[in-house]
A and B are shown apart, each in its own frame.
Chain A
Amino acid sequence: MTTMNKSNQDTESKKWLNFILNLDKRIVYVFMFFAVCLPFFLNPVVDIKSTPRVQSAFDLVEEAAKNHKAIMIGFDYDPSTLAELQPMAVAFLRHAFSKNVPVVGINFLPNGTSLAASTMDQIAKEYGKKNGEDYVFMGYLPQPTLVLLNLGEDIRKSYKVDYRGIKVDDIPLLKNIQNYNDFHLVICISGTRMPSSYIVYGVNRYNFNYVAGVTAVSATEYYPFLQSGQMKGLLAGMKSAAEYESMAGRLGDGMRGMASQTWGHITIIIFIIIGNILYYARKRMDVK
């Protein structure tokens, strides 16, 4: 009788284990949805500590302000990576404009062209900056290889007009800008392989200060370039954007998303731990 009871108990436990291990993935989605949503309402405080690679990017913009030199930003992202890269772009622009650093924007990804132009205009408006005098967006060009090589010699070789169709020679900001030497810092923000192209065709040949802002997925690909000095700084994903925002002292989407990021990670970790424990328990039960 006791053996039968035990056998029934085992069968019942196994049933439960199988049920939880084969849980409908939509239930996991619901948990994730709430884990990401709730922090926006509860506003928990997330302590962001800066890493050296983000700090050096921040310091280079500060140096540009001290040396009264412009910076160049490559807005090489489109809506598919907007959530991760837009906070970085906004943080860089806010920092630069707040320190009166002129910004020249370029773009090699056609689907991100209007996005880049509107981001620059929007942030410039916050600081009362004028298009053509304090910042300029050059628009989209294909063949980044050629453009990056030309930028080492003369920006006019690739760009005849800016995004608005105004001739380069009629743009006050570009009067004293010829090539990479006239920029204190070059930044590429992209979720593609574009940051590597800047190194291969730009940094290696013309040796300028270069920082990349990349998606978290591609971050590990770019760490070796930091160690070799080909990159002076690296921003990887929303976390780095949040670090930059906290350094600049201006809350943005990066900081806003960090609490959701943390809760989302905790949810995934809990599911992984529970899944592994149950998997192990079922395995033991099968052996018995």
Chain B
Amino acid sequence: MSTNPWIWIGAILTLLVFSYLWKENPFYRLAEHVFVGISVGYLVCITWFNVLKPKLFNPLIIDHEYILIIPFIISILMLFRFSSKHGWISFWPLAFLIGFSGYAIPASIDANMLKQIQATVNVSFGNDFMSILNATIILVGTLSCLIYFYFSIPHQGVIGRVAKLGSMLLMISFGASFGFTVMARISLLIGRILFLLRDWLGVVH
């Protein structure tokens, strides 16, 4: 069994959280509140030591980079959000942030749409059976799913059957997603149980 007090704290908090599986109880709530409090405190410390100190206060005070006063003032304006009377002042720094996020629009369209369309149009059929099968599934899957979401014409006849195929393929993809979700959740349980058995109790190696 571990003699490290931090491992003990981790193990006890893990057990407190697991107690929720039995039913909602004050021990679980205690762990929940401790987690939220520590997360916020940690976030503040990391932001101070990794961002504000090295990127703002040190250059400003030690290196006399007075240009940084401008972003400092702009960031302070953000705090006016808490005032009901002067809250409108916080819109100025927000305008900077929103203005910059405009850059994301063409970049996202290019990365998530145009490149994907290009890849589907140029799909490689290859020489072996599996490559041909994969390419066919990609082509047929993309087209049938697109038709499923095309509502300007009634889903009847051939269009109806293709749309039906599209909806079936979507169901398969949802099933795959759900399977992955189960895998992810079990992984989290495995992680905690391995921590309890190995790091805390030391009964497995």
**A: which residues have CB within 8 A of B?**
26, 29, 32-33, 36-37, 40-41, 81-84, 86, 110-111, 113-114, 139-142, 145-146, 160-161, 163, 165, 196, 199-201, 203-205, 215-217, 219-220, 224, 227-230, 236-239, 253, 256-257, 260-261, 264-265, 268
Contacts and interface: CB of A to CB of B under 8 A. Distances in A.
B21 A261 contact: no
Given A200-B108, A261-B183, A84 B188 contact: yes
B interface SS class: helix
B43 A111 contact: yes
B51 A84 contact: no
A40 to B, nearest CB: 4
Interface of B: 21-22, 39, 42-43, 46-47, 50-51, 54-55, 59, 100-101, 103-104, 107-108, 110-112, 115-116, 118-119, 123, 138, 173, 176-177, 180-184, 186-194, 197-198, 203-204
A217 B103 contact: no
B194 A257 contact: yes
A110 B194 contact: no
A82 B191 CA distance: 8
B39 A142 contact: no
Contacts, number: 138
Given A215-B187, A216-B181, A230-B111, 20 more contacts: A32-B189, A40-B194, A81-B188, A83-B194, A84-B184, A84-B191, A110-B42, A114-B46, A140-B50, A141-B51, A145-B100, A145-B104, A160-B59, A196-B111, A200-B107, A220-B180, A257-B187, A257-B191, A261-B183, A268-B182
B50 A83 contact: no
Contacts of A163: 50
When A and B form their complex, which 10 residue pairs have the shortest distance between CB atoms, in order from nearest? A83-B191, A228-B119, A216-B184, A264-B186, A216-B180, A257-B190, A216-B183, A217-B184, A238-B187, A140-B50
A93 B42 CA distance: 26
Contact of A237 (B55, B115, B184, B189): B184
